[in-house]
Amino acid sequence: MMTPHPVVSPDDLADIDLADPRLHAERDLSAVWRHLRGRRELYHQPARGAQPGFWVVTRWEDANAVYRDKEHFTVERGNALNTLLAGGDPAAGTMLAVTDGITHSRIRNLLMGAFSPRMLDDIRARVRQTVDELLTAAIEKGECDFVRDVSGNIPLGAICDLLGVPRSDRQYLLDRTSQAWSSDEADARPEDSWAAKSEILLYFSDLARSRRGSDANDVVTLLANCRIDGEPLSEAEVMANCYGLMIGGDETGRHAITGGMLALIEHPDQWRALKNGEADPAVAGEELLRWTVPSLHGGRAVTADVEIDGQTLRAGDIVSVWIASANFDEEVFGDPDRFRLDRSPNRHLTFAVGTHYCLGHYLARIEIEEMLASLRRRVSHAVQTGPESWIYSSILHGMSSLPLALTAESVDLA
């Protein structure tokens, strides 16, 4: 069973650093989030040495407002604390996730064309086959590491199919995406993360160069050959947006599937609801996305003075929007600390909201729904056989290892 983390008391708030990956991997912040939501005013974490201070948004209503307010908040200085606190994101103005205004609209509209109903139907069929094969192999092993053997391979296949990445290169990219925004170790060097990011960018630069003039039906080819207002995208724009899709398409689905599997083991009543056909995979998938919080927070910079909950935020201030708190806001979610596969409506902020609503939501939802459907058909029991290992990140929330034993369903359910 899941090993509980020590609970951080709200009394210790002044002593903790919310930007510290160790805090999120090793401690339980639920009491802190509950306390901050109840304050009815924004909390400001003060500067720590050379690290600037930043605002902490914890209530769903405030998070929704910040995400939707294009006049006072921007992503062009970074969309996460690690880049905002370091002084900015080098991909700003070129990568969709850290670009605003007309450039953002043009690139987003271009990429939306890749998510056609026909393309998504094809991806769903391949994901279904992949999930069934992975679960069958995991059952046959007797004991598996669910991350390495199952959940890590599902999103990778889907996003690589969309991008047109050759199968021979996929493990290389999985290894690097796992290092780009998180680490398996508490004392990982920042240089390792930057190296992984650089290697992903260089990979897509080479792949895009090879696709120029091609008529292949994939996103890399689309970006390499498109024109906006008669001008081709720069090499930096092509690299950065392939990178953004790779990270966004891989991480959310992987961590939601892993965390969802653990939640089903921890909540046998919900496992029974899934097995009995009482849980619609589409509805249940939204609860997995809310509960597992694959993205802990989003970041913004203030562009003009604005007031939230009686606090004045000044131009240049750094703001962190904590999805890890907003997804459990008592004013939006009834009984938020209960895992319920039939929760509806489910207004979670896992994919953010507004103009920067994550394009990866299409793939993540397909992956999670197909996993739930395949678990119902193929797995009768799941038992955790060893302690799970949590990744170290202030941005992502998930596991690097989850030892399980899966037992086959005696009759494959329709």
Pick the range with the lowest mean pLDDT from 43-47, 135-139, 247-251, 317-321.
Answer: 247-251
Pairing type for strands 311-313 and 227-228 reads unpaired
Average pLDDT over residues 330-354: 97
Block residue for tokens 């696709």: 211
Average pLDDT over residues 21-44: 95
Tens-digit pLDDT profile for residues 276-286:
999 999 999 99
Beta bridge partners of 295: 396
Distance of CA 198 to the CA centre of its chain: 20
> Which band of pLDDT confidence, cut at 50, 70 and 90, is reported for residue 37?
very high
Average pLDDT over residues 186-210: 85
Statement: residue 154 has pLDDT above 60: yes
Average pLDDT over residues 290-299: 97
Average pLDDT over residues 388-398: 94
Which residues contact residue 241 at a Cβ distance below 8 angstroms, ignoring those fewer than 6 apart?
94, 95, 96, 107, 111, 223, 233
Amino acid at 89: D
Higher pLDDT, 105 or 191: 105
The overall pTM is greater than 0.85: yes
> What DSSP string runs through 98-112?
G--HHHHHHHHHHHH
Helix (H, G, I), strand (E, B) or coil at 385: coil
Statement: residue 159 has pLDDT above 70: yes
Statement: residue 177 has pLDDT above 60: yes
Statement: residue 414 has pLDDT above 60: no
> Which band of pLDDT confidence, cut at 50, 70 and 90, is reported for residue 1?
low
* Cα–Cα distance for residue pair 292/261, rounded to 1 Å: 10
What is the H or E stretch that residue 306 is in? strand 306-308
The half-sphere exposure of 181 on its side-chain side, counting CA atoms within 13 A, is: 25
Retrieve residue 165's tokens: 């990445």
pLDDT-above-70 percentage for the chain = 98
Please provide the size of the chain in residues.
Answer: 414
> Which band of pLDDT confidence, cut at 50, 70 and 90, is reported for residue 157?
confident
Retrieve residue 315's tokens: 């131009």
- Predicted pLDDT of residue 48: 93
Residue 101 φ/ψ region, left for φ over 0, alpha for ψ in the -120 to 50 degree band, beta for the rest: left
- Predicted pLDDT of residue 2: 64
Where are the strands (E) in 336-412, listed by range? 379-384, 389-390, 399-401, 403-408
- Predicted pLDDT of residue 25: 95
- Predicted pLDDT of residue 411: 62
Block residue for tokens 């914890």: 58
- Predicted pLDDT of residue 99: 93
In the DSSP assignment, the letter for residue 73 is E
Kindly report each contact of residues 221-227 with a partner whose C-beta sits within 8 Å and lies 24 or more positions away, as own/partner. 221/164, 222/110, 222/111, 222/113, 222/114, 223/110, 223/111, 226/110
- Predicted pLDDT of residue 181: 65
Higher pLDDT, 303 or 246: 303
Question: What torsion, rounded to 10 degrees, do the Cα atoms 112, 65, 59, 97 define?
Answer: 30
Amino acid at 136: T
**Start-to-end CA span in the chain (Å):** 30
Average pLDDT over residues 322-343: 98
Retrieve residue 404's tokens: 């399980």
Beta carbons of 350 and 110 less than 8 angstroms apart: no
* Cα–Cα distance for residue pair 306/304, rounded to 1 Å: 6
Retrieve residue 324's tokens: 């890890």
Which residue segments constitute the domains of the chain, with CATH numbers given? Answer: 10-408 (1.10.630.10)
- Predicted pLDDT of residue 319: 98
pLDDT-above-90 percentage for the chain = 73
Residue among 391, 398, 374, 363 nearest 138 (CA): 374
Beta bridge partners of 26: none
Tens-digit pLDDT profile for residues 359-380:
889 999 999 999 999 999 999 9
Amino acid at 374: S
State the chain's mean pLDDT as an integer.
92
Statement: residue 413 has pLDDT above 70: no
Question: What torsion, rounded to 10 degrees, do the Cα atoms 275, 407, 252, 82 define?
Answer: 130
What is the H or E stretch that residue 390 is in? strand 389-390
Helix (H, G, I), strand (E, B) or coil at 175: helix
- Predicted pLDDT of residue 93: 85
Q: Which range scores top for mean pLDDT: 102-106, 226-230, 382-386?
A: 382-386
Beta carbons of 44 and 308 less than 8 angstroms apart: no
* Cα–Cα distance for residue pair 63/270, rounded to 1 Å: 29
Beta carbons of 315 and 342 less than 8 angstroms apart: no
Statement: residue 186 has pLDDT above 90: no
> Which band of pLDDT confidence, cut at 50, 70 and 90, is reported for residue 6?
very high
Beta carbons of 394 and 297 less than 8 angstroms apart: yes
Number of H helices, E strands in the chain: 16, 14
Helix (H, G, I), strand (E, B) or coil at 289: helix
Block residue for tokens 């899934």: 274
Statement: residue 341 has pLDDT above 80: yes
Residue among 144, 146, 169 nearest 156 (CA): 169
